[in-house]
């Protein structure tokens, strides 16, 4: 193997979860952070918790509403232009 093309491998990397749990592993990055781990994930804990902290659903609904509004205005414009053409 060529030595100059591979990234440096760190064998003792700390992976830190948002809940504070830390796991040691190996990686090409010095430090890793994650939002969920086996200590706080609802599948492993059996507790329901809202995972959508970034508001992804609300952002999607806002984008969807904007596109629906654009479609509604374009259909109104085409209807008016068709009525004027007759």
User: Between 82 and 34, whose confidence is greater?
Assistant: 34
Alpha-carbon distance 86 to 76, whole Å? 16
CATH 4.10.80.400 fits 1-51, yes or no: yes
5-21 tens-digit pLDDT: 888 899 999 999 988 88
Q: Which pLDDT score, from 0 to 100, does residue 56 have? A: 78
Q: Any residues with CB less than 8 A from the CB of 30 and at least 6 apart, and which? A: 10, 13
Question: Please, are residues 54 and 72 in contact by the beta-carbon 8 Å criterion?
Answer: no
Question: Looking at the chain, which runs of residues are DSSP E strands?
Answer: 10-17, 22-27, 31-34
Whether pLDDT at 82 is above 90: no
What pLDDT is stored for residue 52 in this prediction? 59
- Which sequence spans correspond to the domains of the chain? 1-51, 54-86
């Amino acid at each position: 193997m060529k030595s100059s093309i591979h990234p440096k491998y760190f064998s003792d990397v700390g992976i830190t979860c948002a809940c504070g749990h830390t796991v040691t592993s190996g990686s090409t990055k010095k430090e890793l952070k994650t939002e969920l781990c086996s200590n706080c994930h609802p599948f492993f804990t059996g507790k329901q918790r809202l995972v959508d902290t970034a508001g992804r659903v609300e952002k999607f609904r806002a984008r969807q509403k904007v596109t629906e509004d654009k479609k509604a205005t374009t259909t109104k414009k085409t209807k008016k232009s068709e009525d004027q053409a007759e």
